[in-house]
Amino acid sequence: MLPEDFVQSVHRTVSGIKAKDYAKGISQYHRIQGTDELGRALDFIQSEIGKISDAKIKRFEYPADGKGKIGLWKNLHGWTPKSATLSVIEPEERKLCDFDTQRISLAAHSTAIDCDFEVIDVGRGLLEKDYQNLDVKGKVVLTYSKQSRVHRIACLEKGAAGILSYRRSTGKDDSSQLRPYEGLWPEPEDKENTGFGFSLTRLDGLQIKRWLEEGEKVVVRAKVDAKLGEGKHQILSALMEGEDTSQELWLVAHVCHPNPGANDNASGSGAILEALRTISRLIREDALKNPEISIRFIWMPEWHGTIQLIDSEEELLEKCKFVINADMVGADPCKTGSMLNFFRTPYSLPSTLNNVLTYWLAQEAERDYDASTGGTIVPLPWKEKVYSAGSDHFLFTDSTVGIPAVMLNQFPDKFYHTSEDTTDKLDPQQMLFVCSALTLSALSIVYPRYVCKETLLTHCRNEMRDISNRVINEAMSILGQCLDDPEKIYPRTMRWLTYAQKLAMSTLDKASEEWYFISEEKDLLEALKASIEMSYATEMVVARKAYLGACAEVGVEAKGKDEFDLESYNLKVEAKRTLKYAFPPSAIYDLPPQRRDRYFQILQKDSHMFRWVDELLNLSSDWTQIEEIWDKLSFQFGKIQLKRVMDVVQDLQKLEVVQVRDG
């Protein structure tokens, strides 16, 4: 995709060891949103930038004072923690937590307290039935669930003073000393009633649970010196100006999370800093000219800082062409059980950005790495996946913003959001792999005149083939084994193949907008579109043959292709979004308890549910049949129950996020 001298220059310059060193430096700070220490982490990054680049530095600051909201995103309070300890004093005496030695042991946003409390075990603590026959008022609850969810129910609704949490064994790790990362995340109106929380080791959590099961009374002494108040959301930007200052590529990483927070997300923050160092050095040494398009590197507090930037910096946002989000990218796959995932843009937002990243990830994964640089010597796995939310990129891909954004992310990571997410688990070779792919992707975008257009466009065409193959293989498996009604599967397959064909055509059309030189290649574009049409026609024939075979097998008369009305829906109900900006998952707390409890149960089984809720809103920018939305969601994410989609739409209507009408 780029000339070989570009590639070799990057390989000679980029360093996984340097990227890991940056991550180590960032990891030493306790980087909670709205705290001064997050600002000190940004000071460290800014100091490093000054040593390696003449990029233009800018700090964006927005109030973190618990006042106002943007869309449904409520502003956080600033938080100032000074000290905290937790000790058990009955049935025995010993210290359980100390903020001075393990900052992650104090839940973020805890408030001041100095008192003794009886402990009550509420188990999951998310549903009303978890509190049956329990009096938690003025006491501390023990749970294995996320404190942010339990705090709303146990403390704010039922009067508990605080929360102790531990992580149950998942079978993915065996560390008895592991503590989960917890935060209370109080709503602005809950400032005066916010309690406190401590994160226990698994060993201590299970010991307290065992005492309670044996009928022992458990009393703890909690001392917390911390307060909610006025703080700042701070964002650091480093701009490398290109010839065209009206267009920018953004490389972003959230810098927040508690100490140590090595993979999440000191690694992503260190990776984009290493990309900045590499590109700056290549320009300084005349291996590269100044870029045609500007590159902006951004370190921000996750979600809450990003939404402030999007809403406040309209002129800056208009310059943003693409966003690449690096979130958890540096862990040793062998130590953490992780794999690098590339999460593409949602299908509602086609873009060649997906093809640039997947090309370079594939190239760099096959590269022979020098073992002398340290790190793992096993193959570096990665996988392309459909759109997923969960990090800052989804704020950009929302249809009310509409900027193509993708994410590099390692998951699963068995030490995710725990005290064991430490720098010894970061791997120089993994960091080198990501930094190389990230840098080469960035160079492809900001030096477009050097990009091989045939490679880029062919990659776009091949993506459609991959999606169509997934659809047709699933259909052939179902129809060939008579696993479902052929009268249902065949028209669905025809619709989904059509969706894939339209996505491919839209991506090629988008290429003409995103790359100025491609609009001139009309013959090449038409040839690739003809290739897509040919593949589409072939897949439709295969689907037809599979349908005819299934009908013969079950003894029903096959219908003609034209007898199926592919655009007719039984459910005559339409939806249209009214919400500006992406939907924050915490908004479900505003639903009645029974509905809220239902989402907690669903999320236990489908932790990625909000990715299709996001896309549901993207697909309802104008009045659209809900059944059509459901069909497109199932095409993209796999089988989703229509009833569940309808239930979500009804709840979104209650939250005044969408309007609904008979269609």
Could you tell me the pTM of the whole model?
A: 0.96
What's the confidence (pLDDT) of residue 464?
A: 86
Q: How far apart are CA 568 and CA 375, in angstroms?
A: 56
The per-residue pLDDT for range 94-147, each reduced to its tens digit, is: 999 999 999 999 999 999 999 999 999 999 999 989 999 999 999 999 999 999
Q: How far apart are CA 199 and CA 40, in angstroms?
A: 24
Confidence of residue 380 (pLDDT cuts 50, 70, 90): confident
Across 210-223, average pLDDT: 98
Compute the Cα dihedral for 73, 77, 80, 83 and give only its sign: negative
CA-nearest of 308, 272, 194, 268 to 31 is 268
Residue with tokens 């997934």: 470
Q: How far apart are CA 540 and CA 471, in angstroms?
A: 11
Does 567 or 34 have the greater pLDDT score? Answer: 34
What's the confidence (pLDDT) of residue 172?
A: 60
What's the confidence (pLDDT) of residue 323?
A: 98
Q: Is the pLDDT of residue 66 over 70?
A: yes
Q: Is the pLDDT of residue 178 over 80?
A: yes
What's the confidence (pLDDT) of residue 602?
A: 86
CA-nearest of 343, 349, 361, 356 to 408 is 343
- What average pLDDT does the chain have? 95
The per-residue pLDDT for range 523-547, each reduced to its tens digit, is: 999 999 999 999 999 999 999 999 9
What's the confidence (pLDDT) of residue 173?
A: 58
Residue with tokens 């340097």: 18
Across 603-625, average pLDDT: 93
What's the confidence (pLDDT) of residue 536?
A: 95
The answer to whether 364 and 382 have CB atoms below 8 angstroms apart is no
What's the confidence (pLDDT) of residue 174?
A: 64
Q: How far apart are CA 151 and CA 183, in angstroms?
A: 9
Q: Is the pLDDT of residue 373 over 80?
A: no
**What percent of the chain is modeled with pLDDT above 90?**
87
Confidence of residue 589 (pLDDT cuts 50, 70, 90): confident
The per-residue pLDDT for range 391-448, each reduced to its tens digit, is: 999 999 999 999 999 999 998 999 999 999 999 999 999 999 999 999 999 999 999 9
Confidence of residue 40 (pLDDT cuts 50, 70, 90): very high
What is the third-level CATH fold of 27-74+232-449? Aminopeptidase (3.40.630)
The per-residue pLDDT for range 455-483, each reduced to its tens digit, is: 999 999 998 889 999 999 999 999 989 89
Q: How far apart are CA 205 and CA 144, in angstroms?
A: 9
Q: How far apart are CA 294 and CA 512, in angstroms?
A: 20
Confidence of residue 654 (pLDDT cuts 50, 70, 90): very high
Sorted by where each begins, the domain ranges of the chain are 27-74+232-449, 78-229, 452-563, 573-662
- CATH class, domain 78-229, is alpha beta
- Burial string for 203-219 (b: 16+ CB within 10 Å, else e) reads ebbbbbbebeeeeeebb
Q: How far apart are CA 635 and CA 624, in angstroms?
A: 16
Sheet holding 382-385, edge to edge: 56-64, 231-240, 293-300, 244-254, 320-326, 405-410, 340-343, 382-385
Confidence of residue 215 (pLDDT cuts 50, 70, 90): very high
What's the confidence (pLDDT) of residue 175?
A: 82
Strands (E), 193-310: 196-199, 219-229, 231-240, 244-254, 293-300
Q: Is the pLDDT of residue 522 over 90?
A: no
Q: How far apart are CA 434 and CA 333, in angstroms?
A: 13
What's the confidence (pLDDT) of residue 371?
A: 75
